[in-house]
A and B are shown apart, each in its own frame.
Chain A
């Protein structure tokens, strides 16, 4: 697409956000300046219906990439292809410059891709430690090593500066929405995630809770994680995003540093596929195809 190969694709465009690289496995990086995740011509069809067409997207480490688009634009389809819920029908996925095939959620987890879905997937009846360690409990003499678990969970929460929970032994059911989101993110990060995908992290949160989560997103990126945030809320997008990618009817019609966009141009691109304020292709989509794509996810 239009932006492909333009200089603003390189992560160095955001000097301040460059990762320290401390906890990112860089050994197998062929090109250090390459984005962590690179999608090339990725498409997804359900029978005759094309939910995604020819998506080229770069996700650099240490930056927050906001994925925006109207309902049915293909945001969820795209992240599900990356998270391994669905397999992409066409195109390439490059991870650290190497081509990978993500066939299932386990493949994605093995690569270091963690997805925090809107429903958060937490057990309300378990406490924070139990939730964070679920499926990865350390054992001591065959029994659960509660102490190691608690220390690991506490450390992870402290690293992410999640300080609003009084005790890591309180049940998740008693947490506020923002705290629950924080626990879900901490759970993802603890498993050595290099890329954290968050689906509508601030939907349904109050003002202070939203602040909490936005702060968390920023800290994740500054710690060197690549973060993808799906959001409808453009206020939030402009608060945290280093980069913005706009989907329209299954096509990626614009991507670039957040500084190149403003609210109006993003809204224009989201709703019409193009903006008069920022030259973009992809706006020549016939109006008839709208019903097809939005019918997929609605």
Chain B
């Protein structure tokens, strides 16, 4: 190190932090560089791709890998303990059970990426669902009713975002208040919309009931799956071709083919499971549940929004270093409020899925617990509570993990208290593995 004088006239914290930073960086080797780069863009062959990718995994930048392996391990355990677990009937059941946790997880990703949290989105989403059901009972077309519900929850969350941003209140406290207020609002709305119905507003619309209760025809399942895989393949291949045409590094063609193959295999598996007969007795029940399509559309839309638009880029930038984003001319308040709105909107979708599963929205809806499932799903999926790191696909996989644990423990006959405690253990284990893997990974986005 040079004998730089540490007595800069800047704020005292800065130089000290920089020294440690620089000392660490002095040791920055090629290894660290490789570990921090996307293998997509610096490898030329499958062999090198694998090497770069392994380095990344070793250094903790493993992306969604831990949650994928975790999911496989948990599924294997349950299958060994109960041969029923991997039956088509139970898997479809599991997907419909986990769907609302997955969507709550996706909702939380928006705010967690900013380094904020939304504890109210559970009750907020339930209120949005009640608005939808209420509108339906008044004869409003289902899509308009859904829009009304999403708008309500978006507004509710947006209001919280405004309080967080403009009054600079901690989001934890604002949304804690929002959660309490949301519970009260839910009880009031249920009473108001369905008086003397015992605290439940029924869902009588077939389209919305079918989200969880209905399934695509087997042929439709294949068509949707093939269309999705083809679109994915076309997107990947044209992107690589464009990059090569512009003389930029593109992932090796073998890797692209491999990714498309994995996607296709996953799609075929889902459709095969969905299309096998899971009826009891003489009844024939088959087809992929519609909720799979809902989640797929949501996943693709939100992923494009986060990865390919200015809004998404600024969300990550604010989560990484808000001051830097501000100096770059990013309107911090607007991005933060919009992120809260999107969290609320996704929460309302979650509420509607829950209502579809249970045939209505009830004042027993446990929004306080469900929102924590959502946070758990996002965190298990690799989203950092400190902002700047996380992906939508992680929340989907994390939500599946939570769903699998509850489903599996139920199947094994565990009591409700035991289910909760085991979920707690798995959540802790997931976060511990994540933290240990990322410690000392050389990336400052590790906290």
Where the two chains meet, the residues of A that have a C-beta atom closer than 8 Å to any C-beta of B are: 71-73, 75-76, 105-106, 118-119, 121-127, 130-131, 134-137, 139, 142-144, 147, 150-151, 165-167, 169-171, 173-177, 179-180, 199-200, 202-207, 209-210, 232-233, 235, 297-298
B73 at the interface (CB under 8 A from A): no
Instruction: Tell me, in angstroms, the Cα distance from A16 to B33 when the chains sit together.
Output: 38
Instruction: Tell me, in angstroms, the Cα distance from A156 to B324 when the chains sit together.
Output: 20
B21 at the interface (CB under 8 A from A): yes
Instruction: Tell me, in angstroms, the Cα distance from A122 to B327 when the chains sit together.
Output: 10
8 smallest beta-carbon distances between A and B, as pairs: A174-B36, A135-B328, A123-B320, A173-B444, A125-B445, A125-B320, A204-B18, A176-B25
CB atoms of B443 and A173 under 8 A apart: yes
CB atoms of B309 and A143 under 8 A apart: yes
CB atoms of A204 and B19 under 8 A apart: yes
CB atoms of A170 and B33 under 8 A apart: yes
B323 at the interface (CB under 8 A from A): yes
B28, B325, B388: the one contacting A134 at CB < 8 Å is B325
B residues near A297, Cβ cutoff 8 Å: 9
- Closest chain B residue, CB of each to CB of A235: B2
Of the candidate stretches B37-45, B213-221, B225-233, B272-280, the one touching chain A is B37-45
CB atoms of B25 and A175 under 8 A apart: yes
CB atoms of B310 and A166 under 8 A apart: no
Contact with A along B29-63 (1 / 0, CB 8 A): 01011111110111000000000000000000000
User: Among residues 413 to 447 in chain B, which have CB atoms less than 8 Å away from a CB atom of chain A?
Assistant: 442-446
User: Among residues 286 to 333 in chain B, which have CB atoms less than 8 Å away from a CB atom of chain A?
Assistant: 304, 308-310, 313, 316-317, 319-321, 323-325, 327-330
A to B CB contacts below 8 Å, 23 in the list: A76-B10, A106-B329, A118-B14, A118-B15, A126-B317, A130-B313, A134-B317, A142-B309, A150-B248, A166-B37, A167-B33, A170-B33, A174-B442, A174-B443, A177-B22, A177-B25, A177-B26, A200-B8, A203-B4, A203-B8, A206-B1, A209-B26, A233-B2
- Closest chain A residue, CB of each to CB of B329: A135
A residues near B443, Cβ cutoff 8 Å: 124-125, 171, 173-174
CB of B387 to closest CB in A, whole Å:
8
Instruction: Tell me, in angstroms, the Cα distance from A237 to B308 when the chains sit together.
Output: 43
CB of B338 to closest CB in A, whole Å:
16
A residues near B446, Cβ cutoff 8 Å: 173
A119, A127, A176, A180: the one contacting B14 at CB < 8 Å is A119
A143, A176, A210: the one contacting B28 at CB < 8 Å is A176
Instruction: Tell me, in angstroms, the Cα distance from A151 to B327 when the chains sit together.
Output: 23
CB-CB under 8 A for A126 and B320, given A174-B35, A204-B18, A232-B5: yes
- Closest chain A residue, CB of each to CB of B40: A169
CB-CB under 8 A for A144 and B310, given A151-B246, A205-B2: yes
B336 at the interface (CB under 8 A from A): no
Instruction: Tell me, in angstroms, the Cα distance from A202 to B18 when the chains sit together.
Output: 11
Instruction: Tell me, in angstroms, the Cα distance from A136 to B14 when the chains sit together.
Output: 27
A residues near B37, Cβ cutoff 8 Å: 166-167, 169-171, 174
- Closest chain A residue, CB of each to CB of B243: A147
Between A105, A118, A142, A204, the greatest number of chain B beta carbons within 10 A of the residue's beta carbon is seen for: A204
CB atoms of A200 and B10 under 8 A apart: yes
B258 at the interface (CB under 8 A from A): no
CB-CB under 8 A for A121 and B327, given A147-B242, A174-B443: yes
Interface size on B, residues (CB 8 A): 58
Instruction: Tell me, in angstroms, the Cα distance from A122 to B249 when the chains sit together.
Output: 24
A residues near B8, Cβ cutoff 8 Å: 71, 118, 200, 203, 232
B308, B328, B442: the one contacting A144 at CB < 8 Å is B308
B14, B18, B389: the one contacting A177 at CB < 8 Å is B18
CB atoms of B14 and A125 under 8 A apart: no
CB of B385 to closest CB in A, whole Å:
14
Where the two chains meet, the residues of B that have a C-beta atom closer than 8 Å to any C-beta of A are: 1-2, 4-10, 14-15, 18-19, 21-22, 25-26, 28, 30, 32-38, 40-42, 242-243, 246, 248-249, 304, 308-310, 313, 316-317, 319-321, 323-325, 327-330, 388-389, 442-446
B residues near A175, Cβ cutoff 8 Å: 25, 28
- Closest chain B residue, CB of each to CB of A70: B9
Instruction: Tell me, in angstroms, the Cα distance from A176 to B26 when the chains sit together.
Output: 6
- Closest chain A residue, CB of each to CB of B34: A166
A residues near B41, Cβ cutoff 8 Å: 167, 169
CB-CB under 8 A for A123 and B316, given A147-B243, A177-B21: yes
B10, B36, B249: the one contacting A171 at CB < 8 Å is B36
B residues near A235, Cβ cutoff 8 Å: 2
Instruction: Tell me, in angstroms, the Cα distance from A150 to B310 when the chains sit together.
Output: 15
CB atoms of B327 and A205 under 8 A apart: no
Between B26, B38, B242, B330, the greatest number of chain A beta carbons within 10 A of the residue's beta carbon is seen for: B26
CB of A65 to closest CB in B, whole Å:
18
CB atoms of B317 and A166 under 8 A apart: no
- Closest chain A residue, CB of each to CB of B5: A232
CB of A67 to closest CB in B, whole Å:
12
Instruction: Tell me, in angstroms, the Cα distance from A136 to B41 when the chains sit together.
Output: 22
CB atoms of A121 and B324 under 8 A apart: yes
CB atoms of A147 and B249 under 8 A apart: no
A121, A125, A179: the one contacting B389 at CB < 8 Å is A125
Given pairs A143-B309, A174-B37, A177-B22, 18 additional interface contacts (CB within 8 A) = A119-B18, A119-B323, A126-B316, A144-B309, A147-B243, A151-B248, A169-B40, A169-B41, A170-B33, A173-B444, A174-B28, A174-B32, A175-B25, A176-B25, A176-B28, A199-B10, A204-B19, A209-B26
CB-CB under 8 A for A147 and B246, given A169-B41, A174-B35, A206-B1: yes
Instruction: Tell me, in angstroms, the Cα distance from A75 to B8 when the chains sit together.
Output: 11
- Closest chain A residue, CB of each to CB of B10: A118
CB of A148 to closest CB in B, whole Å:
9
Instruction: Tell me, in angstroms, the Cα distance from A71 to B7 when the chains sit together.
Output: 8
Instruction: Tell me, in angstroms, the Cα distance from A135 to B324 when the chains sit together.
Output: 10
CB atoms of B4 and A173 under 8 A apart: no
B residues near A121, Cβ cutoff 8 Å: 321, 323-324, 327-328
Instruction: Tell me, in angstroms, the Cα distance from A169 to B249 when the chains sit together.
Output: 10
Instruction: Tell me, in angstroms, the Cα distance from A207 to B249 when the chains sit together.
Output: 32
CB of B4 to closest CB in A, whole Å:
5
CB of A181 to closest CB in B, whole Å:
10
- Closest chain B residue, CB of each to CB of A122: B324
A residues near B32, Cβ cutoff 8 Å: 174
A residues near B28, Cβ cutoff 8 Å: 174-176
Instruction: Tell me, in angstroms, the Cα distance from A264 to B428 when the chains sit together.
Output: 61
CB-CB under 8 A for A135 and B2, given A123-B388, A169-B42: no
Instruction: Tell me, in angstroms, the Cα distance from A76 to B316 when the chains sit together.
Output: 30
B33, B313, B329: the one contacting A174 at CB < 8 Å is B33
